[in-house]
Amino acid sequence: MRKSAFPPVVSPGTRVLILGSLPGEASLKAQRYYAHPQNLFWRLAGAVIGREDLPALDYEARLDALLAAGIGLWDTVASALRAGSLDAAIREAEHAPLAELAATLPALRAVGFNGKTSARIGRAQLSGGALALVDLPSSSPAHAAMSFAEKRERWLALKEFLA
């Protein structure tokens, strides 16, 4: 079955765009970004914007808090065939038009890639421009080799682009 990404969550004030690869099963079922309860995204993003309470907020309030802080969300894969949620299972990927979206965001300073698949696909489309491209350790529960503290430290690099 072909799976599709959600629309981007951005505003004219977006200074940092965080890109995943393609929503997993829990997110697709819930129709919201990073819905798997073990995914660390909301904790990591909360650390970046200084809102440790971010995971406790309802979904719309989380998105509003990110947008207010200058962070947008999207994915590098517009649609693909994939059984399950692992990036390794992605087949016949159609890439999202990242450069086109970036061109519509006048305040955009950096793109953070949530995981290796996102970085591989996104860097191919966005390298060579003025944007800072930041590889982040995946927030996915499948990437458990790195501790939360280590991931948090790497994600905090995004703070400099929000000032």
- Residues with a catalytic annotation lie at 39
In terms of phi and psi (left: phi > 0; alpha: psi -120 to 50; beta: otherwise), the region of 31 is: left
> Helical H runs in the chain?
25-30, 41-49, 59-69, 98-103, 116-126, 148-155
Handedness of CA 1, 4, 97, 89 (dihedral sign): negative
Residues 6+ apart with CB under 8 A from 25: 84, 85
The burial of 50, by beta-carbon neighbours within 10 Å (0-12 exposed, 13-18 middle, 19 or more buried), is given as exposed
Amino acid at 12: P
- Angle between helix 41-49 and 59-69 (nearest 10): 40
